[in-house]
Amino acid sequence: MSSGALPCHRFSITRPLTGKSEIYPISEGVRMATPTQTMAERTRQMWTAVDYHPIAVQDLLVSELLARAADVHSGHRVLDVAAGTGNSALAAARRGARVTATDIAASALETASRRAAVEGLSLEVEVADAQELPFEDGAFDVVMSSFGAMYAPDQRRAAGELLRVCRPGGRIAMANWTPDGIVARLQRVMASVMPKPAKPAPRPAPPVAWGGEQHCRELFGDRVASLSATVRVHEMCARSATDQVELMAGHLAPWHFATRSLPPEALRQLTEAAVAEYERVNRATDGTLVARAEYLELVAVRA
C-alpha cells in the first residue's frame, strides 16, 4: 500500500441522468429502448447489463501510455471521463494523482473502486454523463478518456464538457479508435446485419470520427492552445479470433444485445464476418489472435 493518506473510495450519484430520447450510437445497428426512456437511462441500462471488465483489461497498456503522454504526476487533479472499469483512472492514480472516475454505469465504477482497493490506491468515483459533468469550471489539471467520451451522442457537447472542467494550461488526453481500424470495421459489420428502421433518423458523426485528428481540432477549436495527435497500434490478444468474438458477445454491451436479437442465420453471418475481420489484422500464425487495433492518442493543452 502506498504511503500517505488512506485510500478513499467515494461512490455517489450526483444528479439524475438526463438527455433527449435518441439511440445511443455505439453501433448504428443497436436498437434497444422504450419510448419513455431517456438516452442516458438506456445507455446506463445497456452497460449495466453486462460485465465489461473482461473486455476492458485488453486495453490496459493504452491507458498507461496515455497517462505518460499526459505527463500525469503526483498532486495532479485528474478526471477520467466515461472511465468504464477504471483503466485510465488507475494509471493516473499509480502516478500519485488525485483521481476522480466518472461513468454512466454504476456497476463499472464499482469494479473500478474494487480494483483501486486491491492496489491500495485512492480513487473517487461518481456516476455522471460525459455530456453533463457535475464539476466546476477548471476543476482538474488533467482530463482523460480512453475509448469512452468518444461514444457520447452529442460530440460537441461532450468536447465542451472536457474543455470546461479542465483548467487553463491543463491537458486533455484521449485514446480514440480510428475510422479505419478494426473496431470501426466491426461496427460496420454489425450495422450491415441489423434490421434497418422504417424511417432512418439523421446520422450524427460516428464515434470513430474522434479518431481523426482534424475532427478533434474542429471539436476543440480555439479553446485549446495546442493539440498533438499520434496514431498508435494496440494489440488485442485472445486464444483465437472466434474466442474474441465470443468474448464480445458476452461482455461488450452493443455486441451482446445485437447477438441476442438476431435470428440464427443473421447471427451466423455476423459471427463469421467478425471473425474474418479479426483475421485480417491478426499477426499470429499459430491459431491464436494478436490483432492490430489502431487508435489515436491525443493530448491537447487548454487555452
10-residue mean pLDDT profile of the chain (303 residues): values are 37 38 34 52 80 94 99 98 98 99 95 98 97 98 98 95 99 98 96 82 88 98 99 97 97 89 93 98 98 99 99
Rounded Cα gap, residues 135 and 142, in angstroms: 13
Four-residue CA torsion sign, 227, 140, 168, 219: positive
- Exposed, middle or buried: residue 260 (CB in 10 Å: 0-12, 13-18, 19+)? exposed
What local confidence, expressed as pLDDT, does residue 37 receive? 56
Distances (CA, A) of 188 to 25, 194, 245, 249, 256: 12, 10, 15, 16, 16
What local confidence, expressed as pLDDT, does residue 33 receive? 40
Rounded Cα gap, residues 193 and 269, in angstroms: 8
Rounded Cα gap, residues 104 and 263, in angstroms: 30
Domain count, the chain: 1
Beta carbons within 10 angstroms of residue 94's beta carbon:
16
Domain that holds residue 220: 11-184+194-235+293-302
In a domain, 36, yes or no: yes
In the block, which residue shows the cell 468474448? 247
In a domain, 262, yes or no: no
In a domain, 19, yes or no: yes
Q: What angle do the packed helices 182-193 and 253-261 form, to 10 degrees?
A: 20
Grid coordinates of 269: 453471418
Which residues lie closer than 8 Å to 193 by C-beta, 6 or more apart? 29, 262, 266, 269, 270, 273
What local confidence, expressed as pLDDT, does residue 21 receive? 29
Question: Of 232, 248, 247, nearest to 292 (Cα)?
Answer: 232
In a domain, 37, yes or no: yes
What local confidence, expressed as pLDDT, does residue 18 receive? 39
In a domain, 66, yes or no: yes
Rounded Cα gap, residues 84 and 72, in angstroms: 19
Grid coordinates of 57: 483489461
In a domain, 26, yes or no: yes
In a domain, 149, yes or no: yes
In a domain, 111, yes or no: yes
- Exposed, middle or buried: residue 132 (CB in 10 Å: 0-12, 13-18, 19+)? middle
The model's pTM is 0.87
What local confidence, expressed as pLDDT, does residue 22 receive? 31
